[in-house]
Structure 1
């Protein structure tokens, strides 16, 4: 990275923007809102760039900023009162079974409470450990485990067509 702070920040954003956008989309389930969420998080990151760039894990610092921005936003009264869309956009689906499954998973994720969605996204999308997820969310490992269990149970209820035996048998055949 560059010696100049603004240049270093710009380089970092160019490198990490796609990953931050994907995580934001998983959290909020809306591309436009995800862009706004990333922008808010990057503003916060820029105002604390001296501290952030000195962190031992800059990516974790940025990811934590993004997730906490999302959770903070979900706690506001506005987020509880306003529903921007009343259903998931159908144009993301197609006749391809994998695309239909992806839409079903996105719908199920959208139905989770924000904290459970954040835990699932961090544990299974960002591949963080229980401890790293707890640090990101500012909670204990026990809370991460319980939120993960509740989130996965809710996903299983929302996606009843997925049978654990089918996935196991498919893996053993390949």
Structure 2
């Protein structure tokens, strides 16, 4: 599938509008699975649903006119960043409307001590922005693993490094985020 996605991205970049539609048939199911995983641990009544997240991400991806798509890994990285942005935008709108501290999401897999109803997505975004300033590689690993739903090997492929490096970065980023997101 990775090669098919890369070929379709190249065709889309070259102006083949049909390639975008064929690409959608390949990647939308994967994006839906990813969004479903992100929402699996969420509190009941979350106002943003996985399908809405995928649809919004696809609309934004489809609107990117001048992006030089390189391969499937590049596509997943951009999709993960867009999903992160959508979740943060949603939390900000909700926070502005309710003024109660924002939308809560869990950070499954990072073992971050979180309140009963989840983790503040805006705090996560701010922490990832700080981590990106300190160590962009570790921030990309978090983004690809958490928002992109990639495994260790896929993340290594996307970043062009070894799985052992990804494991080290993931472990260090988890520890850093644990401290950054812990109360007090």
> Could you say which TM-score interval applies, normalised by the shorter chain?
0.3 to 0.5
Structure 2-normalised TM-score? Answer: 0.46
Structure 1-normalised TM-score? Answer: 0.48
